[in-house]
Amino acid sequence: MELEYNDRSTRRSKLYVAVGLVVALIVGGLVFALLRFGNLAPQGPAEMRQVVVAVREIPPRKPIEEGDVAMRSVPADPTNESAFTRIDEVLGRLSGVPISTGQMVTRTMLASNASGQAFSILEPGQEYDPNGPHLRAVSVSVPDERAVAGTLVAGQRVDLIVTMAINPEIGQTAEEAALTTAEFIPGPSTKVTLQMLTVLSRNGPIYILRADLATAEKIAELVAAGGQFTMVLRPEEDGRTASTDGSTIDTLLDEFDFPVPRPPVFESPAP
């Protein structure tokens, strides 16, 4: 008996495929329409924020003036939340970093905390840390010839060398002083004392340095004892703490073999 060919299943499969294609086209068209025209729906106006921007290049350590900044309206977003919103908030304050033209002025860019203040104890952008060192500003008087010819500027790091008059007999009895004099004599003594201090500001021969409170106490005591300061400039890359022996007249005589003056000897005139 010959079997009759039946293509009913084949026709049903083709129908399913066709229906699937039509559904896919409809879904694709809806997705395209949403992506293409979905943003055309009326939206409310974007929130704007007035911020302070630089209208010319502002170098670091420069007091900001009226001609340096202006107000600009920008879309409000997290990137400009820290920008100043009033010009009077920045006038007279010191820039801590270079500020480019068109750049928003933020709190992390300024070195001073108050208008007219020429320095900030904290570094630009540094947050106060209640668990950190007790940072202070302390001043020392150093003439130009002992301060790198007066060329030091804010932001540089220096070491302090102190020269003091030492008298080993102070506080001793006459008997003790007699014994001490046999080994030590009064005279100047020079030693590097405090290192890696940052210059915050300068007013002529008076320098304002950043130091912790304990270091400020030592500086005050050295001044009270009549110490004379010499400031030496450190390379920016050098963060080492140097160890030296100090210097006194006798050590210099020994090291460089200086001749010691003696009373002249004159020949007696012939009789």
DSSP codes of every residue in 150-216:
GT--TT-EEEEEEEEEE-TTTT--HHHHHHHHTT---EEEEEEEEEEEEEEEEETTEEEEEEEHHHH
Could you list the residue range(s) of the whole structural domain that residue 192 is in?
Answer: 135-256
Q: What is the pLDDT of residue 43?
A: 59
Instruction: Give the other-Cβ count within 10 Å of 5's Cβ.
Output: 5
Is 125 part of any domain? no
Is 244 part of any domain? yes
Out of 59, 93, 109, a domain closes at: 109
Averaged pLDDT for residues 181-190: 79
Is 77 part of any domain? yes
Is 161 part of any domain? yes
Based on the fold, state whether residues 74 and 172 are members of the same structural domain.
Answer: no
Based on the fold, state whether residues 221 and 165 are members of the same structural domain.
Answer: yes
Q: What length does the chain have?
A: 271
Exposure letters 219-253 (e unless 16+ CB within 10 A, then b): beebbeeebbbbbeebeeeeeeeeeeeebbeeeee
Out of 58, 91, 109, a domain closes at: 109
Q: What is the pLDDT of residue 11?
A: 66
Q: What is the pLDDT of residue 234?
A: 94
Is 10 part of any domain? no
The answer to whether the CB of 87 falls within 8 A of the CB of 81 is no
Based on the fold, state whether residues 144 and 249 are members of the same structural domain.
Answer: yes
Q: What is the pLDDT of residue 28?
A: 72
Averaged pLDDT for residues 170-189: 71
Is 192 part of any domain? yes
Q: Of 120 and 85, which is predicted with more confidence?
A: 85
Averaged pLDDT for residues 110-127: 68
Q: What is the pLDDT of residue 260?
A: 86
The whole-model pTM stands at: 0.58
Q: How many CA atoms lie within 13 A of 97 on its CB side?
A: 13
Q: Residue 53: pLDDT above 80?
A: yes
Q: What is the pLDDT of residue 146?
A: 96
Based on the fold, state whether residues 102 and 166 are members of the same structural domain.
Answer: no
The enclosing domain of 73 has a CATH number of 3.90.1210.10
Averaged pLDDT for residues 185-212: 92
Is 3 part of any domain? no
Distance between terminal CA atoms of the chain? 174
Q: Residue 41: pLDDT above 80?
A: no
Q: Residue 231: pLDDT above 70?
A: yes
Q: What is the pLDDT of residue 79?
A: 84
Based on the fold, state whether residues 94 and 202 are members of the same structural domain.
Answer: no
Based on the fold, state whether residues 90 and 162 are members of the same structural domain.
Answer: no
Q: What is the pLDDT of residue 247?
A: 93
Based on the fold, state whether residues 104 and 144 are members of the same structural domain.
Answer: no
Averaging pLDDT over each range in 58-62, 144-148, 197-201, which range is the top one?
144-148
Averaged pLDDT for residues 243-265: 90
Q: What is the pLDDT of residue 120?
A: 75
Confidence of residue 42 (pLDDT cuts 50, 70, 90): low
Q: What is the pLDDT of residue 37?
A: 59
Is 183 part of any domain? yes
Total count of domains within the chain = 2
Based on the fold, state whether residues 203 and 96 are members of the same structural domain.
Answer: no
